[in-house]
Structure 1
Amino acid sequence: MSVASSEPWSVSLLSPPSSVVMDGEPAMGRYAGCIDTIDWRALRGTWRRSALWTRLHHKRWQYVGVAHAHWFIGVAIVDVGWCMSSFVYVFDRRSQKVVLDWTQDGLPGWSGGVTDQPVTGGAARFKGLGAALSIVTEGHVIAVRVKTRRLQLRCDLSWHQAPPFLLAVGPVDQGLVHATQKSPGLPVVGEFVLDGERHALHGALGSLDSSNGLLARDTAWRWACAHDRRLGFNLQEGYFGNQENVLWLDGTLIPLGAAKFAFDPLRPLSPWRVQTDDGLLDLHFRPEGARQADRNLVVAASYYIQPVGTFHGVVRARPGGPVVSVDGLLGVTEDHRSRW
């Protein structure tokens, strides 16, 4: 990655509010930093719904992606209110294949849960048949633990002295509301054992997506995320608008405009293009392979594809600012539709 100019810049976001609800209303906006709890119980007026409705529509999840020169690992624990789901996959970049794809469903409480603490003190746990997964923050370390029949993963993501996390709070479809915390690239220490073979994760970077909202039964989005030690971004097109679109550059968190994803849904492993309407990001994505799932359980359904690959193009910290070239930045895109 090369930089056309070393000119300094500064773009700032406000610090997070004390609560995602202020005076009965969502504290809408993008903020730089972490909030202790995402708690919607103080919503009032048109934002207020019945306890049963809230139970069925309250969605929480924690997702960690770990990017390494040879591997990409995705781990997720999802609580959709009336059921739970979890998955872990391992993508081998050398063979360009998903070499492990494990998923399991369960019941909230019985199988585990996802707390309302997104980062500080946050915990997501799932226990199922022959498996246990957890994403737990202990101090400034996000500890990821996975044990399945074929895979044992232990890795820690350190956010000590990390650039600021994004907190986004905003409206979604049907007058509902959502909040998310997204991390910059975080150094990883750890290893995994797959089918009896041990692999170190030296030099890997990880990122956290901790989300919590009151969402419509049918929800869809496209997403892109990639990081190295200097640059990273998070982009979403869909139910949450441009609320979570940001760029991290040299430790600064920079808000981006609306994202546009151009790709062929019938050929998702062909190249993608991702842009923002403020001209600050224009990237091409070259998929290497993908995890994909298409499930229809009558009462619920999900179509999901998450290609792994590299981004190439340019970003800027401000309109007309110096160009930063991006070449071979490892990350993922996603096309996701859920009935939950």
Structure 2
Amino acid sequence: MDRLIQANGQPHYGIFSAAPGLVNYRDFDFRSPMGRRLGALAKWRRFHQFQYFGLISEQLIGGCALANLSLAGIGFVYLFHPPSGRMIERQFKLPLSMGTRFSQQPDDGVCELRSGRNLLRLENRTDSREKRLLVELDDGTRIDAGFSEAEPAFQPMCINTPTAVNGWVYAQKVAGLRCTGQVRSSLGDFDLAAIEAFAHHDWSAGYMRPETHWNWACLSGQVAGQRVGLNLSCGVNETSFTENCYWLDGELIKVDTVRFAFDRQQPLQPWHIDSHDGQVALRFEARGLHQERTNLGLLASNFKQIFGQFNGVLRPPGRTEIRVDGLWGFVEDQYVKW
């Protein structure tokens, strides 16, 4: 599929075997809930896009996100050192997304944020199926990390769903891939291949609900010689289809809807995550978190991304169940108005 939006102005919907070449949102026949055709200004204002790159290992946990919310460009990066419990984190907010650029090609192009001597950059390459994260901060922190979906072959989750009465969201996610590269920071210097790091990645864009909330869970690691990745959500990307899935050595296995049971006021208490079809039964125990609260009137966010360890089982149909024992990963609780 070359373009997500068809010639008639309507999106392709479903779960796709490969990413569209272009998320051509300007070609969308965007209308108000009462059916009035909306113009270029409304398309710009309501279209939102973000990209996330995560690192997971027993020695280092990291996350970096970029978001274009039309009225603001937002970025964050953090590193957490599990053995010591130390953490470094930075946040950036740029009015009208000045100092940012975002490609609308999920598998190609650059998304980046520049603020002073700070750079957050995510680069995707079609030819090699590589994803790369580059972070350079004014305190000397540097992250240069990447992975490839080509060898061994890896099937990403590519999904487009209707959203509310007049929107849609395209999401593309992977987890459970070996990560290479270098990290230099006040927490220490790390060779990501040497510490057996894994990576996960999220590329999402579309006309999302103006006020929304979601939970998300992700893990990556190795179990009995098998690479395992997991991506689950509740509250978003689940109209007609869901993004819920896990990967075994790059093979995507679909999962039904999931339930997140946790205490929102005490997010560091254990979480329980179970799927309706019984394939997923996990307990998550927190080890730390990155959180942000923003209330700018038209834009607001209450965001908690919590990192810790998962225990439980995955039950792929017709196969031996997989025991998850202390695998590192993330859960998320997010409210957004945008």
TM-score, L = length of structure 1: 0.88
**Would the aligned equivalents of 2:158 and 2:172 in 1 still touch at CA under 8 Å?**
yes
2:327 aligned to which of 322, 326, 329: 329
Task: Tell me which amino acid in the other structure corresponds to 2:85.
Answer: Q
Which residue number corresponds to residue 158 of structure 1? 148
Which residue number corresponds to residue 208 of structure 1? 201
1:135 aligned to which of 115, 122, 136: 122
Which residue number corresponds to residue 138 of structure 2? 149
1:58 aligns with 2:47: yes
Which residue number corresponds to residue 177 of structure 1? 168
For residues 236 and 272 of structure 2, the distance between their equivalents in structure 1, rounded to whole angstroms, comes to: 20
Deviations 1:158-197 (A, max 9, x none): 2222411110100122331000110132222212221384
**Would the aligned equivalents of 2:311 and 2:327 in 1 still touch at CA under 8 Å?**
yes
1:27 aligned to which of 1, 8, 12: 12
For residues 39 and 316 of structure 2, the distance between their equivalents in structure 1, rounded to whole angstroms, comes to: 43
Task: Tell me which amino acid in the other structure corresponds to 1:81.
Answer: S
Structure 2 CA distance for partners of 1:196 and 1:240, relative to 1, 3 Å: closer
1:227 aligns with 2:245: no
Alignment map for 1:237-256 (pairs within 5 Å)? 237-241=234-238, 243-256=242-255
What is the deviation of 1:146? 0.7
- For structure 1, which segment, 105-114 or 57-66, has the greater mean C-alpha deviation from structure 2 after superposition? 105-114
**Unpaired runs of at least 5, structure 1:** 1-16
Task: Tell me which amino acid in the other structure corresponds to 1:210.
Answer: W
**Would the aligned equivalents of 1:173 and 1:239 in 2 still touch at CA under 8 Å?**
no
Which residue number corresponds to residue 118 of structure 1? 106
**Would the aligned equivalents of 2:259 and 2:274 in 1 still touch at CA under 8 Å?**
yes
**Would the aligned equivalents of 1:185 and 1:207 in 2 still touch at CA under 8 Å?**
yes
- For structure 1, which segment, 26-35 or 86-95, has the greater mean C-alpha deviation from structure 2 after superposition? 26-35
Task: Tell me which amino acid in the other structure corresponds to 1:327.
Answer: D
- For structure 1, which segment, 32-41 or 329-338, has the greater mean C-alpha deviation from structure 2 after superposition? 32-41
What is the deviation of 1:107? 4.0
For residues 206 and 272 of structure 2, the distance between their equivalents in structure 1, rounded to whole angstroms, comes to: 28
- For structure 1, which segment, 250-259 or 260-269, has the greater mean C-alpha deviation from structure 2 after superposition? 250-259
How many pairs does the alignment contain? 321
For residues 172 and 79 of structure 1, the distance between their equivalents in structure 2, rounded to whole angstroms, comes to: 18
TM-score, L = length of structure 2: 0.89
What is the deviation of 1:109? 6.1
Which residue number corresponds to residue 105 of structure 1? 93
**Higher relative contact order by CA 8 Å / sep ≥ 6: 1 or 2?**
1
**Unpaired runs of at least 5, structure 2:** none
**Would the aligned equivalents of 2:176 and 2:250 in 1 still touch at CA under 8 Å?**
no
**Would the aligned equivalents of 2:143 and 2:184 in 1 still touch at CA under 8 Å?**
yes
For residues 59 and 187 of structure 2, the distance between their equivalents in structure 1, rounded to whole angstroms, comes to: 18
What is the deviation of 1:297? 2.1
Task: Tell me which amino acid in the other structure corresponds to 2:259.
Answer: K
Question: Which secondary structure does the structure 2 equivalent of 1:81 belong to?
Answer: coil
For residues 196 and 306 of structure 1, the distance between their equivalents in structure 2, rounded to whole angstroms, comes to: 20
For residues 111 and 45 of structure 1, the distance between their equivalents in structure 2, rounded to whole angstroms, comes to: 27
What is the deviation of 1:290? 0.8
Structure 2 CA distance for partners of 1:70 and 1:176, relative to 1, 3 Å: same
Task: Tell me which amino acid in the other structure corresponds to 1:223.
Answer: W
For residues 312 and 197 of structure 1, the distance between their equivalents in structure 2, rounded to whole angstroms, comes to: 28
RMSD (Å), alpha carbons? 2.0
Alignment map for 1:180-191 (pairs within 5 Å)? 180-191=171-182
- For structure 1, which segment, 59-68 or 149-158, has the greater mean C-alpha deviation from structure 2 after superposition? 149-158
What is the deviation of 1:251? 2.9
What is the deviation of 1:31? 2.2
- Matched residues, percent identical? 27
